[in-house]
Amino acid sequence: MHLVLIGLSHKTAPVAIREKLTFPADVQPRALASLTGSHLVSEAVILSTCNRTEVYAVASDSDGGVNAVIDFLASFHELDRHELVRYLYIVTGEAVVRHLFRVVASLDSMVVGEAQILGQAKTAYDYAQSAGTTGKAFNKLFRQSFEVGKRVRTETAIGESAVSISYAAVELAKKVFDTLDGRTVLVLGAGEMSELTLKHLVANGVSGVLVANRTFERAQDIAARFNGTAVPYESFYDRIRDTDIVISSTAATEYVITKADLAPAAKHRSRPLFLIDIAVPRDIDPRTNELSDVFLYDIDDLNGVVEANLEERMAEARRAEGIIDEEVAAFYGWVESMEVVPTVAAIRAKAEVIRQMELEKALKRLDLSDKERKTVEALTCAIVNKMLHGPTARLKKLSSTKDGYMYVDTARVLYGLDDSEDKQGPGAFRNLLNLRAREIVERHTETGEGIGDCGA
């Protein structure tokens, strides 16, 4: 099992590039099916937000998996592969686990400590699970990542006075206008980002709230929560004349506000118009900034606001990194249990412990000479070895295939390696089994001999 991550984020690519690699909900099933259609990729999850696009994959070969994912990204979005690679980061192995845990814990976010990423990661995982592209590895990894995110927010103060991109947008508006008291805002889009933005705006003194959305009922619902007014989407330009701030966060794939359409409304204004585009792909034509008294800021412009919030969060982030270390170690403890050598050793060890226990009980009931005892013991060893040789040999061979770890996991379930108990009490049998397994693995490591012979 090889873990592979290919991605780009606000740290490696400008918004003009990031908006070309988004994976909205309606394309996720097709994208995931295409990605796992490769013989190299057995599991996949695509995390796509306004600040990052990351493809997580379980591959049968690390280098092959990396190339398969990059080829997929270039092909799916019809981009030049060589140009695309300039903006990508490539992560493999244990570093993938650490990166995901840091992302979900919001340590890699533009605004450290923001709460949205945990929900976005859960949504990405749900898409993949619904598409049938997660298995044992990613079910374990992503579910643990959610626990990591919750643990970081519970055990540190990183989430106190939580900020987000929407909060940063409001902070920028406050700097432009000095105060938001008495200002009127028009919000385009009625999703989570829009609702969060309105929450921050109202808390900071905005008195007029207008909401426009393609689904008018949804705009009414959001506007009602903030004592605002729903605006028919097709007429939002008319209301811009009475607006101080426009914040756009829709799921549109083309510009919602263009220079040509905004120009008439801007011409009849007597005060500045502040546009904040927090959508990816962008909602507002960059050329609107050329209009008189119109000031446009996109998501990359929020970096300055974000930086001001980072310093006070760094101490809590360092505490969170300690939690990440613990969780990475825990995950790889599980991974090691899925590796074929310790699993075969555990199967052999369990069989050997059972053989010895049953042999001891039988010998107590028999009156045998030393020669006869050795003959009976050799017989039990021969039976155990012949019964296990075929299954363990095939398991070792299958473990190197694309879905090899799944065979290992199945073997552990069938042999009850993770839930063994006996009448001596929980753990008594397990302790004996673990001791015997460690002896077998250590001998295999030191001598290079095969894991096999009973009583060796």
| 333 token code pair | 């403890």
Annotated catalytic residue within 5, 44, 50, 186: 50
CATH 3.30.460.30 correct for 2-161: yes
| C-beta of residue 277 within 8 angstroms of C-beta of residue 289 | no
pLDDT tens for 139-151 read 999 999 999 999 9
| C-beta of residue 146 within 8 angstroms of C-beta of residue 176 | no
Inform me whether the pLDDT recorded for 319 exceeds 80: yes
Inform me whether the pLDDT recorded for 160 exceeds 60: yes
What average pLDDT does this structure show over 11-19?
93
The residues that bridge with 55 in the sheet, in sequence order, are 6, 46
| C-beta of residue 198 within 8 angstroms of C-beta of residue 209 | yes
pLDDT confidence of 39, banded at 50, 70, 90? confident
Burial readout 89-108 (b: 16 or more C-beta within 10 A, e: otherwise)? eebbeeebbbbbbbbbbbbb
Inform me whether the pLDDT recorded for 364 exceeds 70: yes
Tell me, what's the pLDDT at 177? Answer: 84
Cβ neighbours for 403, distance < 8 A, ≥ 6 positions apart: 42, 135
Tell me, what's the pLDDT at 426? Answer: 46
| 52 token code pair | 């990052």
Inform me whether the pLDDT recorded for 293 exceeds 80: yes
Looking at 88-92, 137-141, 271-275, 420-424, which range is the least confident one?
A: 420-424
pLDDT confidence of 456, banded at 50, 70, 90? very low
| 99 token code pair | 């990166």
By three-state DSSP, how is residue 156 classified?
A: coil
Q: Are strands 245-248 and 184-188 parallel, antiparallel or unpaired?
A: parallel
Q: Whole-angstrom Cα distance, residue 198 to residue 190? A: 10
Tell me, what's the pLDDT at 425? Answer: 46
| CA distances in angstroms from 208 to 99, 226, 326, 341, listed in the order given | 42, 9, 48, 66
By three-state DSSP, how is residue 246 classified?
A: strand
| 392 token code pair | 């363990």
Q: 70-84, 100-114, 403-417: which has the highest mean pLDDT? A: 70-84
What average pLDDT does this structure show over 84-107?
96
Q: Whole-angstrom Cα distance, residue 400 to residue 405? A: 8
Inform me whether the pLDDT recorded for 278 exceeds 60: yes
Tell me, what's the pLDDT at 104? Answer: 97
Tell me, what's the pLDDT at 420? Answer: 47
Prior bond to 281 cis, omega within 30? yes
| C-beta of residue 187 within 8 angstroms of C-beta of residue 194 | yes
| 178 token code pair | 């000095």
Q: What is the mean pLDDT of the chain?
A: 86
Tell me, what's the pLDDT at 231? Answer: 95
50 catalytic residue (yes or no): yes
Percent above pLDDT 90 for the chain: 55
| 389 token code pair | 């040789």
Inform me whether the pLDDT recorded for 168 exceeds 50: yes
Inform me whether the pLDDT recorded for 437 exceeds 60: no
Q: Whole-angstrom Cα distance, residue 83 to residue 312? A: 37
What average pLDDT does this structure show over 323-342?
84
Tell me, what's the pLDDT at 417? Answer: 82
Inform me whether the pLDDT recorded for 162 exceeds 80: no
Tell me, what's the pLDDT at 103? Answer: 97
Q: At what angle do helices 404-414 and 370-398 cross, to 10 degrees?
A: 140
Inform me whether the pLDDT recorded for 99 exceeds 60: yes
Angle in degrees, CA 83, 85, 86, rounded to 5: 75
Inform me whether the pLDDT recorded for 401 exceeds 90: no
CATH topology of domain 168-299: Rossmann fold (3.40.50)
Tell me, what's the pLDDT at 435? Answer: 60
What average pLDDT does this structure show over 21-28?
95
Cβ neighbours for 338, distance < 8 A, ≥ 6 positions apart: 1, 136, 405, 408, 409, 412
| C-beta of residue 223 within 8 angstroms of C-beta of residue 229 | yes
Tell me, what's the pLDDT at 165? Answer: 73
Inform me whether the pLDDT recorded for 303 exceeds 80: no
Tell me, what's the pLDDT at 449? Answer: 46
Tell me, what's the pLDDT at 399? Answer: 73
pTM value is: 0.60
Cβ neighbours for 158, distance < 8 A, ≥ 6 positions apart: 105, 106, 112, 113, 152, 313, 316, 317, 319, 320
What average pLDDT does this structure show over 221-230?
92
Tell me, what's the pLDDT at 424? Answer: 44
User: 290: which DSSP letter?
Assistant: G
What average pLDDT does this structure show over 369-390?
91
What average pLDDT does this structure show over 367-382?
91
List, by residue range, all CATH 3.30.460.30 domains of the chain. Answer: 2-161
Tell me, what's the pLDDT at 163? Answer: 62
What average pLDDT does this structure show over 160-183?
78
Tell me, what's the pLDDT at 101? Answer: 98
Show the 3-state SS of 339-360.
CHHHHHHHHHHHHHHHHHHHHH
Specify the higher pLDDT residue, 187 or 270. Answer: 187
| C-beta of residue 54 within 8 angstroms of C-beta of residue 7 | yes
Inform me whether the pLDDT recorded for 361 exceeds 70: yes
List, by residue range, all CATH 3.40.50.720 domains of the chain. Answer: 168-299
Burial of residue 168 (CB within 10 Å: 0-12, 13-18, 19+) is buried
